[in-house]
């Protein structure tokens, strides 16, 4: 639900004040039009100077509000916004005093500031505005300048009064629907942004905790991996006469070396920033290297790889965390469909996209609804952390991950990342 294209970046009080300024301009235009109609068309002897002075004061308040928004780029406070609404109420009370007080057919417009405050500010401000509105209306019942009659009879004046009441009512409804509802929507947008920020903070906390555990595990795994590497080398030397054992021992040693390399990168990159953790490379070459690394680690899985794009592939900064996220998704696909997976790489001027398809059993609706959260997985062995980390990394880069079941079976994972977040020139 959107009420303003810039509502996601402007503080809510500043956004409400900007909307209230628009409301004030509309009210000023109607006030000037009514003054002209009453004085020129209905020939009423109105105190024009005083009326125009109050309308001019409203215009100056809008000019001052615009200056406040410029002086306070970080936002304005709730008392400042309330003061603008309260001053408008007092100015309107002055206009009513000069034009018949509570008998003025437009007196119902007193409710508009009250609706504005009730929809945008805490309850205390609403009580204060209620008191100011009631006090102003009550005073106008006893202190006012009578509304002068034009060159019409009593019945005609009463007819104009009824028409004025209808006009005031319709104007109040229109302004409330158009502005107050938009301000209320702005509050809901703020609540949604706060909710998303809290979710992101919780996710970041989980990632920090997992990163700490992973760093400790990397140090602890170094010793057993070294022991396994020594045993694998002994197997190779002792069973050189048995090609089968030598081949399996060689594969085991290569996988151990890969594990040690991954752990070394983890421990070396803990305190490094993005610039130190990646390298500039063409996007297609980057994915080519990932596919090659995946195929070497999963030699039993056929990977059908396709590339297509608009224009030359962009040069990106190969982020280590992104590489790990993509390898996790490829490994998950291979676990579900060990014989074959399909990978399609595409790019355009604005987006980079990677589609990974397997031929496994897919996921239930319940699992698809909660996929990407920790400890949600369709595998018998595993904790669902691979997809969780992949979601987190892609979202950190401004992208998104979409997962769907395929027909007749299998799963499709679509990763989309904006080009600008990975461009070398943008770093």
Residue 295 has pLDDT above 80, yes or no: yes
CA 47 to the chain's CA centroid: 51
CA 221 → CA 6, 61, 213, 358, distances in Å? Answer: 50, 68, 12, 31
Residue 274 has pLDDT above 60, yes or no: no
Q: What is the mean pLDDT of residues 398-426?
A: 80
Q: What is the mean pLDDT of residues 104-127?
A: 83
For domain 277-426, which architecture applies? Answer: 2-Layer Sandwich (3.30)
Question: Who wins on pLDDT, 419 or 220?
Answer: 419
Whole-number percent of the chain with pLDDT over 70: 71
Cis peptide before 408 (omega within 30 of 0): yes
Which DSSP string do the residues of 151-191 spell out, in sequence order?
Answer: SS-HHHHHHHHHHHHHHHHHHHHHHIIIIIHHHHHHHHHHH
The domain segmentation of the chain, as residue ranges, is 12-196, 201-268, 277-426
Between CA 396 and CA 235 the distance in angstroms is 45
Strand 315-317 versus strand 351-357 pairing type = unpaired
Question: Who wins on pLDDT, 267 or 168?
Answer: 168
The pTM is what?
0.47
Q: Which of 79-83, 106-110, 258-262 is the least confident region?
A: 258-262
Structure tokens at 83: 């003061």
Model pLDDT for residues 142-196, shown as the tens digit of each residue: 998 887 765 544 444 555 556 666 666 676 666 666 666 666 666 677 677 777 7
* pLDDT the model gives residue 332: 84
Cβ atoms of 239 and 391 closer than 8 Å: no
Cβ atoms of 343 and 354 closer than 8 Å: yes
Helix (H) or strand (E) holding 30: helix 12-36
Model pLDDT for residues 4-53, shown as the tens digit of each residue: 434 444 567 777 788 888 888 888 988 898 888 888 887 788 899 999 99
Question: Who wins on pLDDT, 337 or 424?
Answer: 337
* CA-wise closest residue to 252 among 271, 219, 267, 230: 230
Question: Who wins on pLDDT, 154 or 389?
Answer: 389
Report the chain's mean pLDDT, rounded to a whole number.
Answer: 77
* pLDDT the model gives residue 157: 53
Q: What is the mean pLDDT of residues 84-102?
A: 90
């Amino acid at each position: 639900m959107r009420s303003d294209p810039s509502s996601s970046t402007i503080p809510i009080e500043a956004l409400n004040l900007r909307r209230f300024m628009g409301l004030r301009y509309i009210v000023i235009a109607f006030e000037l039009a009514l003054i002209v109609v009453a004085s020129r068309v209905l020939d009423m002897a109105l105190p024009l100077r005083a009326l125009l002075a109050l309308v001019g004061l409203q215009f100056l308040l809008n000019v001052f509000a615009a200056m406040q928004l410029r002086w306070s780029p970080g936002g304005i406070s709730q008392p400042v916004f309330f003061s603008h609404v309260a001053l408008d109420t007092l100015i309107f009370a002055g206009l009513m005093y000069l034009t018949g007080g509570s008998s003025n057919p437009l007196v119902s417009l007193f409710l508009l500031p009250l609706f504005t405050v009730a929809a945008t500010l805490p309850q205390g401000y609403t009580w204060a505005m209620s008191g100011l509105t009631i006090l102003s209306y009550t005073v106008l019942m006893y202190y006012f300048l009578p509304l002068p009659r034009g060159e019409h009879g009593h019945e005609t004046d009463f007819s104009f009064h009824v028409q004025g009441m209808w006009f005031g009512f319709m104007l109040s409804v229109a302004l409330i629907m158009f502005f107050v509802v938009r301000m209320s929507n702005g509050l809901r947008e703020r609540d949604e942004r706060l909710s998303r920020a809290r979710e992101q903070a919780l996710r970041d906390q989980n990632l920090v905790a997992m990163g700490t555990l992973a760093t400790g595990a990397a140090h602890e795994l170094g010793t057993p991996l070294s022991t396994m590497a020594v045993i694998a080398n002994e197997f190779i030397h002792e069973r050189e006469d048995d090609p089968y054992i030598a081949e399996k021992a060689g594969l085991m040693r290569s996988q151990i070396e890969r594990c040690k390399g991954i752990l070394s990168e983890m421990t070396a990159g803990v305190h490094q920033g993005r610039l130190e953790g990646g390298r500039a490379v063409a996007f297609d070459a980057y994915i080519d290297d990932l596919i090659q690394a995946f195929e070497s680690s999963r030699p039993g899985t056929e990977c059908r790889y396709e590339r297509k794009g608009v224009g030359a592939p962009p040069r990106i900064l190969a982020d280590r965390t992104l590489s790990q996220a993509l390898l996790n998704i490829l490994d998950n696909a291979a676990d579900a469909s060990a014989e074959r997976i399909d990978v399609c790489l595409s790019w355009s001027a604005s987006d980079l996209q990677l589609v990974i398809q397997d031929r496994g059993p897919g996921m239930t609706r319940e699992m698809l609804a909660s996929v990407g959260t920790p400890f949600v997985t369709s595998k018998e062995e595993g904790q669902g952390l691979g997809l969780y980390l992949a979601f987190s990394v892609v979202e950190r880069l401004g992208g998104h991950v979409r997962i769907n079941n395929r027909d007749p079976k299998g799963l499709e994972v679509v990763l989309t990342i904006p080009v600008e977040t990975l461009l070398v020139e943008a770093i």
